[in-house]
Structure 1
């Protein structure tokens, strides 16, 4: 900062007992406690020993076996047969359920597996009442089980004609690859005890209109479940584009800006105070980059500031519609010559969404990105709640306040800030175990946020403040 720029100065007060600095917490490089510090750049959060072990266990051969098994059912169209033991979506459903239950046997009762079914009445792309079934494995948290993180892929498939329920529809990339990510992480994490709950799902009805995921999200909302993050993996099977070029070390992460579930009053408030780039999904995407864009995963997480691709949609949308933070992982370049195409041979070359066009090492790296994000979220304190910026007074400083979390390993909080033209947080300052902090910088000129820190140094996603009194 230049000499004539206002110096950052923090004062911290405590609404609850406490007020000490973050004792026992590894320091963010250059950051100090409250008082007289300009803040320093936030460093990426390195994986701990347990997370490194998780990432090493991701097995491309197991992922390939899952993809090939799902393809073996011929078609997994939502409208295909549900009672044939060898072909159709019912056979795929039953195999996924049995496989997840096999993984759960290693969990000492922490993981439960259920078939979440409902009858979808006639609707677009659903001509007759149809049973739609999600397969859901829930690994209950050992410390804060009420906090939930979800990862999914969709196990239904289709060909060019979205209503053709009988033709072979391999669906290797779209989306056996995403189901393989969810299932492989379920296998690995079933043997562990995350602090918060992680849900591994294979959902149906995506190609007909996101029906399964929308139902799942609505069930969570009706139950009042605190879903703090949801990731869908949809088309994560290959880095090959339709022109043959490859980008094997990149995965796209689509993150919505303006909230889908925003009310008119919320929209008016947002327009008056900014924050279009600070939605919960965008904070979630920044968090993923900080914990999963590294040599441990072998991947570059390319955040896309959109809800999804043009003319497309994914299962994260159902969660966004319920007000949950959600984002979509997708390969960097899609080969449209193979997606949704009928299986055929042209000039001696076979086309269609076949396993031969998948890169199983690539899918394994995508699984490591998901694993790093999920485990880091589930072992950190939750995202701070009810974060506010004081707007009742005309001042040239910024007062932030928030509700203290209840996690037993909560050590305190950090304030992050950035210039309004910056895409990510550029400075961080520790404020300790407090619920109010005042920064000697104008709230009109900078963006601010708050994140929680656990005693082991795990940090939550950032919460962007709403206007407060």
Structure 2
């Protein structure tokens, strides 16, 4: 009897062993180590609080920068502010031997917040890339300001934080980065007309198409200088990065494929946000990114939206704690409560850290090769997954990444450095994981990760990309 019981137990144990699924490939104990770059440490260190304060004080000093305000006065209004900005860019260009060219694209608009037609003018400083000049990285902020009434163009509207902070950051980035050379072109964009309907962003998107720019990334900075919110909560160590989940230019056919195979959280904008988050952790800790899976704040918008609608990967950077008494408000005090977007509401240490994040991200993007034009995956009814991609000029190697479908970041990586443009991942089933590929330069600068197919493609042509 004892022998029979033993035999039954052994039989059941054998059946259990044979029915057990194969163990998944071992996961790394920690995310792959990525070497830091001296250049990125250097440009972060060069950002100056004093320079940011100098720029922001000058911007506030124009009284109002409303898009419908005076354009002729040398000291007050949007015209004086734009000319001052162009002059700052010209000064930086002189210091770097003419490395910046200043452009002022303009267009006349009418609309709900423009009772009579007005010329909207953007001020751009273009730092042409040395190796791949048609590939473009853009940093933007809007120079225009407003008070409670969106068409009040005469009252004082200091706009210190909204969006003098973003404009000052763009100017400081131009000062710091113009001292270096980069493979890709960098555009420092100071936009007008945001408060009148995102007009500066629309003008920039149109100008980018007309120039034939291959826009890899847009970092739009809007309200980045305050660390204490309306609730009284202070957070000086985080900045929000907003990114769209699915492309604004997605076709119905692409949407059907994406709904079936995944990609809802892997647009190029979303993977650009992940890229920025990783840089913050490596170069700016304890300052960090909070990724927000939205195009913008709830029921609100910014100049990144027209860029997304043109098919360009774009994110919005905004402070963690907004103070609504300082946004779109007449300058006043009511029942002891102070309203208005004034200079005293800006935390310059915080603003400097957000500026550093931009500078590091732009330098990293402009130093790396672009992401592959095409990434594909194969492996249906197979225990293995094959990942393929197009060759990228300037890439010395590639990193193939994978993550669980519900993971926020990419923890698994395999490097391919033998000139191949495909790799098979044994035991990594296509059904369970999401995949992506980044290009890596000989110096170790890596592009953002690109998700397979149209859902994740950074440079897929669309009708709206054409002039």
TM-score normalised per structure 2: 0.89
Q: Give, in whole Å, the separation in 2 of the partners of 1:465 and 1:416.
A: 11
Query: Residues 125, 245 of structure 1: CA spacing in aligned structure 2 closer, same or farther, 3 A cutoff?
Result: same
- The CA deviation at 1:295 is 5.3
Q: Does 1:113 align with 2:102?
A: yes
Provide structure 1 residue ranges, at least 5 long, that are not aligned to the other structure. 9-36
**Does residue 99 of the first structure (1) align with residue 85 of the second (2)?**
no
Task: Tell me how far apart the structure 1 counterparts of residues 304 and 123 of structure 2 sit (CA, whole Å).
Answer: 16
1:217-253 alpha-carbon deviations (Å, 9 max, x no partner) = 1221243311100001100011111122210111111
**2:32 is the counterpart of 1:78:** no
Q: Does 1:466 align with 2:416?
A: no
Aligned residue number for residue 438 of structure 1:
424
Query: Is structure 2 residue 442 aligned with structure 1 residue 452?
Result: no
Q: Describe the SS at the equivalent of 2:326.
A: coil
Which whole-Å deviations, capped at 9, do the CAs of 1:322-380 have from their partners, x for residues lacking one? 11111000000111011111011345664300000101111000000111111111111
Contact 2:105–2:207, Cα closer than 8 Å, also in 1: no
Number of equivalences: 434
Q: Report deviation, 1:415.
A: 1.0
User: Is 1:422 the counterpart of 2:407 in the alignment?
Assistant: yes
- How far residue 147 of structure 1 moved from its aligned partner, in angstroms, is 1.3
CA drift of 1:128 comes to: 2.0
> 1:333/1:7 Cα in 2 relative to 1: closer, same or farther (>3 Å)?
closer
Q: Decide whether aligned partners of structure 1 residues 126 and 45 sit closer, same or farther in structure 2, where only a CA change above 3 A counts.
A: farther
Task: Tell me, yes or no, if the aligned pair for 1:117 and 1:132 is still in contact at 8 Å.
Answer: yes
| Offset of residue 45 of structure 1 | 4.0
1:130-174 deviation digits (Å, cap 9, x = unpaired): 111111001111122121100011000011111111111110000
Q: What is the correspondence of 1:289-328 to structure 2 with a 5 Å cutoff?
A: 289-294=277-282, 296=284, 298-328=286-316
Q: For residues 188 and 467 of structure 1, what CA distance do their matches in structure 2 show?
A: 35
207, 215, 219: which one pairs with 2:207? 219
Q: CA deviation at 1:175?
A: 0.2
d(CA) in 2 for partners of 1:160, 1:377: 38
1:412 aligns with 2:400: no
SS in structure 1 of the partner of residue 389 of structure 2: strand
CA gap of 1:467–1:321, structure 2 versus 1, over 3 A, is closer
**What SS is found at the alignment partner of 1:276?**
coil
Equivalent in 163, 172, 181 of residue 160 of structure 2: 172
Match of 1:159 in 2: 147
Structure 1 position 247 matched with structure 2 position 235? yes
Deviation at 1:38, TM superposition (A): 6.6
Distance in 2, Cα, partners of 1:116 & 1:183: 18
Of the three residues 179, 188, 192, the one matched with 2:176 is 188
Contact 2:325/2:338, CA 8 A, preserved across alignment: no
Q: Give the number of the structure with larger relative contact order, counting CA–CA contacts within 8 Å between residues 6 or more apart.
A: 1
| 1:133 is aligned to 2:121 | yes
- Computing the radius of gyration from Cα coordinates, the structure with the larger value is 2
Question: Residues 467, 238 of structure 1: CA spacing in aligned structure 2 closer, same or farther, 3 A cutoff?
Answer: closer
Aligned-residue offset at 1:54: 1.2
Q: Structure 2: which 5+ runs fail to align?
A: 1-19, 456-467
Q: Distance in 2 between matches of 1:5 and 1:156?
A: 60
Point out the more displaced range, 174-183 or 194-203: 194-203
Q: Is the aligned partner of 1:389 residue 2:371?
A: no
Q: CA deviation at 1:389?
A: 1.7
For 2:465, the equivalent position in structure 1 comes to: none
Question: How has the CA–CA distance of structure 1 residues 41 and 323 changed in structure 2, closer, same or farther, with 3 Å as cutoff?
Answer: farther
Q: Identify, as 1 or 2, the structure richer in helix.
A: 2
Structure 2 residue 288 is matched with structure 1 residue 337: no
Deviation at 1:87, TM superposition (A): 1.0
CA contact (8 A) 1:63 1:364 kept: yes
The residue matched to 1:174 in structure 2 has which SS? coil
Alignment of 1:52-71 (within 5 A): 52-71=41-60
Query: For 1:40-88, what per-residue CA distance to the aligned partner results, in whole angstroms no more than 9, with x for missing partners?
Result: 7544645422222211111111101111111111111111111111111
Pick one of 157, 177, 201 that aligns with 2:189: 201
CA contact (8 A) 1:294 1:300 kept: no
DSSP 3-state at the match of 2:363: helix
1:467 Cα offset (Å)? 8.0
1:87-112 CA-to-partner distances (Å, cap 9, x unmatched) read 11111111111111111112222211
Cα distance between partner residues in 1 of 2:369 and 2:22: 34
Report the Cα distance in structure 2 between the residues aligned to 1:46 and 1:202, rounded to whole angstroms: 33
* Cα separation, 2, equivalents of 1:442 and 1:56: 43
CA contact (8 A) 2:106 2:203 kept: no
**Partner Cα separation in structure 2 for residue 52 and residue 202 of structure 1:** 25
Alpha-carbon RMSD = 2.0
